[in-house]
Amino acid sequence: MLATALVSGLGLGSIYGLIALGFTLTFAVSGTVNFAQGSSVMLGAVICHALAVGMHWPMIAAAPAALLGCAIWGFIVERIAVRPFVTRGTNSWLMATVALGIVLDNLVMVLFGKEPRALPSVLADEPWVIGKIGIFPLQVLIPAVGLGLAFLVHLGMHRTELGLRLRAAVDHPDAARLMSIDVTMLIAVTYAAAAFLAGIGGILIAPLYNVAYDMGTLFGIKAFAVAILGGLTNPWGVVMAGLAYGLVEACATTWLGSSSTQIVTFTAVIAALALAPSGLFGLRTKVRV
Amino acid sequence: MPTNLTRRQALALPAGIALGSLVGRPATAAEPVKIGLVAALSGPSAKSGEGITRGLTIAIDEINARGGVLGGRMLELVRRDDESNPAKGQTAARELIDKEGAAILFGGIDSPVSQAIVPLVNAAHVPFMGVWAAATNITRNGANPNYVFRVSAVDVLVDRALIKHAMATFGAKTPGLILVNNGWGESNFAGLTAAAAAAGIKLAGSEKFDDKDVDMTPQLQRLRDAGADTLILVGNAAPGAQVVKSLQRSAWTVPVVSHWGISGGRFPELAGSWAGKVHFVQTYSFFGPQNDVGKRVLAALMAKYPDIKGPGDVTPPVGVANAYDAMQLTALALAKAGATDGDKLREGFLGVEGYQGLIKNFTKPFTDENHDALNENDYVMVRYNGDQIEPITG
């Protein structure tokens, strides 16, 4: 049972971590997040389905096109649901991003339909069998992609010029502006990157689940819990929190039964935050008096 | 003496006359009898709503072609989408009763929705006809008088049939239950536990899943470790497909016997290559030799719906067949009642003597004690072959 719980938990946990990375990116740079990150998950899966199944594109073309669509969506979210409110100094972006996500979900419902559809993949058809344990190749790919992207985000933030500009914008936004760094554009780029990451999550999970206009809601909520748990500003912490969340979820179902899954998981989140208010891997802010 | 009317009075007078002519006016021969349908017309179970609509439409076309009911009144189907949501189903039922003046309501696939509507129709004295949802307490609801009738399976009887099929076909000795986490799942948990006890076998265990669960391998692993030699599945198409995908992922080739909820959506597409492994229950199959009614209905379906080219395209057959027979029985009940009044129509159902239907030859289908027209002898086990539903032979 332990092996089954590990496989199930690590797979789902990686998806939560991947989506939560988007929260980390935008929060680190702008102090804001897209609360409709789940809708970006859905958008990636839906566009990919429309191109790969509806228009018979090869997956190698459909997936990048879907991710481009997600990135454009990220720009749109920042431009119309975040920037106008941040520049006026209000926190109304909280509600605006939720509302925009609802608009997108309903728009997709009209265009795509209400029925869930399948996104077949050769990576989720024939499992590898080891003893009593079976695993789809896709379930191995998902954690690898999750950890790989966390590594790339970390590398990008610390080893590239864009990353340096981002960190400069985070630490000293006014000084960055004086140095001709376009902070506004950088924030827009992080929103596009966040939606891009969520889109990857959607495309990866779709063959194991299904594609539906409302598929992102639950993923979005869990990913936000993971982002808070991971410390919000720490990419590695968020990915680790995602894996931990997935494992607790799977272990609760395996040993205590499916009725207890949500009770145990969310109680664990509350308990963890009570013990570590900045998140399990968050940086404690020192306040000098 | 001449009377001077103000402009307001001049406007109000003809409106009042027109309104007065409507109040207390008896139904004319031209006024249609409205047949309400509250079902899942969108969402994961949309196919069920479409199947029920088609069955009702074919029956209504036949009844109207032979002159309608109650001296020439045509039947008119008025549909509302409950989106598989009990609250939306209740609202739709109220609208159909209060605003549309429906003489009877037909229900859809979701037991929780029908369970929510039952108290409402019993209070409003409007008959309700279940044609898919199988929870035992929909018809056996404790109300007196009871306005709820059903031409569909009853969980308590289906559960006996599922256990019987698992034992006869797969030699099951310790089946495991994997059930949706709602009222329908609970209804079947009670029924399957009783059926297993009556058959002298022990259940390996029982696990639940929610409609939005992504991975059911932990639940399945518990059943596997508990020694389940067969799985009994109760759930609708999308989560049912997740169970099958999780089985495939685990490479656990255990036989699966399912209630019929999986036939209400895109199960073969969502479940993938293992969809055909699942045996499930229906009340009718359009394959094989058909009686005269079967031939007539299949021909009418093929003529009306271009996507139906043969018996395998009538999916889901249970929705079509149950709705067709239920509508024909309703026409007979209306004839007995002589009116659309709810109390009289209820008596009309109890007074129907017999009807040669699609599913079977109904004899005294409804009595004071039994509001279910079908029983365990009316079930047929089937499986998917591609998108088509075929009976299991041999």
For residue B254, give the CATH number of its domain. 3.40.50.2300
Cβ burial, residue B393 (10 Å; 0-12/13-18/19+)? exposed
Q: Are B116 and B68 in a shared domain?
A: yes
Q: Are strands B175-180 and B148-150 parallel, antiparallel or unpaired?
A: unpaired
| Domain boundary assignment for chain A | 2-275
Q: Are B366 and B353 in a shared domain?
A: yes
**CATH (one of 1.20.930, 1.10.3470, 1.10.1060, 1.10.10) for A2-275:** 1.10.3470
**Cis previous bond, A137, omega within 30:** no
Nearest CA among B109, B42, B45, B51 for reference residue B80: B42
How many other CB atoms are found less than 10 A from the CB of residue A280?
18
Q: Are B249 and B301 in a shared domain?
A: no
Q: Which residues of A touch B273 (CB under 8 A)?
A: 125
User: Is residue B206 within 8 Å of residue B176, measured between CB atoms?
Assistant: yes
Q: Are B231 and B295 in a shared domain?
A: no
Closest CB to B225 among A1, A7, A208: A1
Flag whether B26 is in a domain: no
Q: Are B226 and B257 in a shared domain?
A: yes
Are residues A4 and B245, on separate chains, in Cβ contact within 8 Å?
Answer: no
User: Is residue B294 within 8 Å of residue B270, measured between CB atoms?
Assistant: no
Range of the domain at B71: 33-153+290-375
Beta bridge partners of B75: B33
Tell whether B207 is within 8 A of chain A (Cβ). yes
- Compute φ and ψ for B145, nearest 5 degrees: -75, 155
Flag whether B23 is in a domain: no
Tell whether B108 is within 8 A of chain A (Cβ). no
Are residues B217 and A8, on separate chains, in Cβ contact within 8 Å?
Answer: yes
pTM of the predicted model, to two decimals?
0.79
At B41, list the tokens: 């017309």
- Give the pLDDT confidence score for residue B19 in this predicted structure: 46
**A-chain residue closest to B243, CA distance:** A209
Flag whether B196 is in a domain: yes
Closest CB to A259 among B208, B213, B221: B208
Q: Which of A156-160, B95-99, B235-239 reaches the highest mean pLDDT?
A: B95-99
Q: Which helix (H) or strand (E) holds B273?
A: none
Flag whether B3 is in a domain: no
For A177, the 3-state DSSP assignment is helix
Flag whether B234 is in a domain: yes
Task: Give dist(CA B23, CA B33) in Å, integer.
Answer: 18
**Residue B335 CB-half CA count within 13 A:** 13
> Does ipTM exceed 0.90?
no
Average pLDDT on B131-135 reads 93
- Give the pLDDT confidence score for residue B223 in this predicted structure: 94
Q: Cα separations (Å) of A188 from A25, A27, A184, A195, B51?
A: 11, 12, 6, 11, 48
**What residues contact residue B24 under an 8 Å CB cut-off, 6+ apart?**
none
Q: Are B258 and B219 in a shared domain?
A: yes
Q: Are strands B361-363 and B380-385 parallel, antiparallel or unpaired?
A: unpaired
pLDDT in tens, A55-73: 999 999 999 999 999 999 9
Band (A283; pLDDT cuts 50, 70, 90) = low
- Compute φ and ψ for B369, nearest 5 degrees: -85, -25
At B61, list the tokens: 């076309």
Percent of chain A beyond pLDDT 90? 46
For B:336-355, CB contacts with A below 8 A are none
Q: Are B86 and B142 in a shared domain?
A: yes
For B228, the 3-state DSSP assignment is coil
Closest CB to B238 among A8, A116, A208: A116
Q: Are B350 and B338 in a shared domain?
A: yes
Q: Are B130 and B198 in a shared domain?
A: no
> How confident is the prediction for chain B on average, in pLDDT?
90
DSSP one-letter code for B266: T
Percent of chain A beyond pLDDT 70? 97
Tell whether A4 is within 8 A of chain B (Cβ). yes
